[in-house]
Amino acid sequence: MKTGIKQSILAASISLLFTAPGLMAGDTIKLGVAGPHSGDLASYGIPTIKAAELVVKEVNAKGGINGKQVELLIEDDVCKPEIATNTATKLVSDGVDVVLGHICSGATKAALPIYKNSGIVVVSPSATNPGLTQSGDYPNFYRTIASDDAQARTEVDFALDVLGLKKIAVIHDKGDYGKGLAEFAKTFLENSSKGEVVMYEGVTPGAVDYSAVVQKIKRSGADGVIFGGYHPEASKIITQMRKKRIKIPFISDDGVKDDTFIKVAGKYAEGVYASGPQDNSKNPLSSAANAAHKAAYNADPGAFYENAYAAALALLNAIDNAGTTDYEAIRKALRDNKTNTPVGNINFDSKGDAVGVGFSMYQVTNGKYVEVK
């Protein structure tokens, strides 16, 4: 372990040696933005680009940071680990100073060692895998979203304490995010004396019909469902459950707390619970960020927009406070200084999680997600 640290410090210092001339010569601060910008998960990555563009435009209009303009380097990783390493090396080759991204946990895990070796701080708006911060493997990683275990905790507590459910069917979409979350939910339920897991299964994403698994939920005698995954599968399952006249509560996650879910599931979405980042609508910065998006693109912002906005602000603010783009200085600034962002006045703990960013439960009421108090 000790040699590992020594190695990484050595590696970092060597790479700093190499990148230093670039820093001197460059009169801009290069902010990399990486995530899926094409392919089937593009809708999760594109809002982050828009957030970064808006933040940078504002910062540059005010004269930039430390007298330098901020420049965006946007690269696509299609959420695939093997592409993400290419993306990361490309950003590093292009002399990026800090990175906003990546979006998917798998791609982030693949890309982080490359940034780490080059002494680049990464702030993700959406990678929620607990290991990213808790394992200690990635000292250069920070995020403006709470991790999956915190989210599963919120869901399970809500199901047991608020709804008073006893028998819970835990379903997931076999994906990195969904299955990870479901695993945590299952463990929390098993360790709790208040309820039990009566069914634990994964569904195949993209399948044409889920009625078999829905019938199985009915037979299991569950009085509630916790689903880990994204909204397309969630809306198919809830639609088929309601069509088969199963009326038990459906609790899901941030991947479902998306307006597309309500649009797609329509009337069947009513009453569905989902955990999501705490409600920021009273935060003036949040409304300002949303208004800026509306003004610039004439559309409502998409997934993780506020988190991305917050991450961009936090990064640039840290560079401002540090007065340099030096790796250690930025890390210190991220920990020590609070930044006022759409997701609250935040700084980061020593592991890299944002302090004061948590989850709340929402319920679909009259076609809108409303926070459950």
Partner 1 sequence: MLRVFLWSGGMEYFIELFFSGLTRGSIYALIALGYTMVYGIIGLINFAHGEIYMIGAFTSYIIATVLSIYGFPVLAIVVLAGFAAAIWSSAYGFTIEKLAYRPLRHAPRLSPLISAIGMSIFLQNYVLLAQTSDFLAFPELIPDFDFMEPVAHIVGTTDLVIILTTAAAMFGLTLLIKFTRIGKAMRATSQDRTMAMLVGINVDRVISMTFIIGSALAAIGGILIASHIGQINFYIGFIAGIKAFTAAVLGGIGSIPGAVLGGFVLGLTESFATGYVSSDYEDVFAFGLLVLILLFKPSGLLGRADIQKV
Partner 2 sequence: MISLKESKRSALVSLWFMFLTFPIMVIKVDAIEKTIIWRWENMFYVGFGSFILSIFGRIFFERQKNRREKQLSEKIQQHNLIQILLREPKYLYPLAAAFFLFALTFPHLFSTYQINVMTTALMYVVLGLGLNIVVGVAGLLDLGYVAFYAVGAYSYALLNFHFGMTFWMVLPLGALLAALFGVLLGFPVLRLRGDYLAIVTLAFGEIIRLVMENWNAFSQGPSGISNIPRPGLLGFDLTLNQAITYLYYLMIVMVLITIFVVNRLQNSRLGRAWIALREDEIACQAMGIDKTKTKLTAFALGATWAGLVGVIFAAKTTFINPASFTFLESAIILAIVVLGGMGSILGVILGAIILILLPEYLRALSDYRMLAFGAIMVSMMVFRPQGLISNVRRHYQYRPQKGEQE
With CB under 5 to 8 Å by kind, the binding choice for 147 among partner 1, partner 2, none is none
3-state secondary structure 207-222: CCCCHHHHHHHHHHCC
Which of 62, 102, 96, 67 is closest to 82 using CA atoms? 102
- Which of the choices partner 1, partner 2, none does residue 239 contact, using the CB cut-off of 5 to 8 A by kind? partner 1
- Which long-range contacts does 131-135 make (Cβ < 8 Å, 24+ apart)? 132/105, 132/108, 132/352, 133/351, 133/352, 133/353, 134/351
Identified binder of partner 1 from the candidate list 20, 207, 355, 370, rule CB under 8 A: 207
Task: Please name which of 34, 39, 47 lies closest in space to residue 260, comparing C-alpha atoms.
Answer: 47
User: What residue 114 binds from partner 1, partner 2, none (CB within 5 to 8 A, per partner kind)?
Assistant: partner 2
* Interaction of residue 190 with partner 2, rule CB under 8 A: no
**Closest separation between CB of residue 227 and partner 1, Å?**
13
Running DSSP on this structure, what letter comes out for residue 65?
B
CA–CA distance from 169 to each of 17, 119, 143, 242, 260 (Å)?
54, 44, 30, 16, 24
Residue of the chain from 33, 34, 37, 142 that contacts partner 2 (CB under 8 A): 37
**Do the beta carbons of residue 104 and residue 41 sit within 8 Å?**
yes
Site for partner 1 in 246-275 (CB under 8 A): 246, 260, 263-266, 268
202 binds partner 2 (CB under 8 A): yes
Which of partner 1, partner 2, none has residue 215 at its interface (CB below 5 to 8 Å by kind)? Answer: partner 1
Q: According to the binding rule CB under 8 A, does residue 102 interact with partner 2?
A: no
Max CA separation in the chain (angstroms): 68
Q: Which strand (E) or helix (H) includes residue 172?
A: strand 167-172
Residue 219 binding target from partner 2, partner 1, none, CB below 5 to 8 Å by type: partner 1
235 binding partner (options partner 2, partner 1, none; Cβ < 5 to 8 Å by kind):
partner 1
Based on C-alpha coordinates, what's the Rg of the chain?
21
Given candidates 147, 239, 278, 283, which one binds partner 1 under the rule CB under 8 A? Answer: 239
- Which residues, 153 to 182, sit near partner 1 by CB under 8 A? 174
- Residue 2 makes CB contacts below 8 A (sequence gap 6+) with none
Determine which helix (DSSP H) or strand (DSSP E) holds 339, and give its type and residue range. strand 339-341
Rounded Cα gap, residues 251 and 150, in angstroms = 15
> Segment 113-132, which members bind partner 2 (CB under 8 A)?
113-114, 117-118, 129, 131
Residues 208-237 vs partner 1: string with x where CB under 8 A? xxxxxxxxx-xx-----------xx--xx-
Asked if 183 is part of the footprint of partner 1 (rule: CB under 8 A), the reply reads no
Binding residues for partner 2, rule: CB under 8 A, are: 7, 10-11, 14-15, 18, 37-39, 75-76, 80-82, 85-86, 89-90, 92-94, 105-106, 109-110, 113-114, 117-118, 129, 131, 137, 174-176, 179-180, 183, 202, 263
